[in-house]
Amino acid sequence: MATASSKETIDALLERSGRAYVPIRRSFVQAPVRGGGAGPLAHFVTQRRGRTLDLYLLMHAVASAKPFDVRFPAAVWARALGIAGHATASSMVSKQWTWLESERLIASRRSGRLREVTLLREDGSGDTYVHPGKEGNYFKLPYAYWQGNFHNRMDLPAKAVLLIALSLQDDFLLPTKQGAAWYGISRDTVRKGLRILLLLGILEMHEVRKKAPLAPLGFTLERRYTLREPFRHDATEFPSES
């Protein structure tokens, strides 16, 4: 008997949204204060919540219109995440929803035999979610993340650095030693994430020579990065939407 695959389930979920990307506020990856700091993304990394991050991002894609909620059996989410064959798959999904609720990124309630999940604001404030289009301070995660199977090809550090890169403009700086101060993630996480994205061809890097009178050689080298297809920034990055 034919059974839907993980990819087919994800494709069906994404098709419901009627768009090609997920809008995510920058406050998800970085605190909106001078000098930056940890946004909610850092909690996924420090608690090694890679699968939970995928669930959250996929839920963001599906809950694309008011009232920004979803209501599917846990088995559907488990199949999308590739854990459908696990004996405790439904329980695993339930625990992930519970963790996301404790982080004040979602709200949930029982709706018959299903769990109805509603988005909250991405900054972890617990505030009601509204589309960030009118505010403008957001970035786009293309559906290519799922359609190109990058959610399975990347580890958690790579996923975290991808989201950070999407929140920045082309030719950006991301020194490994600044990961904790700017984004609440470790130097090792930044280094691993950059390495994987470069290996996958998602990032390109070039070095810029900067004059430095007090350096041993009189100059330093800055590593600058730009996203490549299918994640390259485009001219319509911050459209106004209702």
pLDDT of residue 237: 42
Full-model pTM: 0.90
Model pLDDT for residues 5-32, shown as the tens digit of each residue: 999 999 999 998 888 999 999 999 999 8
Please state, in angstroms and rounded to a whole number, the distance separating the CA atoms of residues 120 and 194: 29
Token digits for 2? 């034919």
Rounded Cα–Cα distance for residues 231 and 237 (Å): 11
pLDDT in the model for residue 1: 57
Q: CB under 8 Å to 154, separation ≥6 — which residues?
A: 162, 196, 197, 200
Q: Which of 56-65, 78-87, 116-125, 156-165 has the lowest mean pLDDT?
A: 78-87
Where exactly are the structural domains of the chain?
6-227
Indicate the pLDDT class of residue 242, thresholds 50, 70 and 90.
very low
Which residues fall within 8 angstroms of residue 226, CB to CB, at 6 or more apart? 170, 171, 172, 203, 204, 232
pLDDT tens digit sequence for 165-210: 999 999 888 888 888 889 999 999 999 999 999 999 999 988 777 7
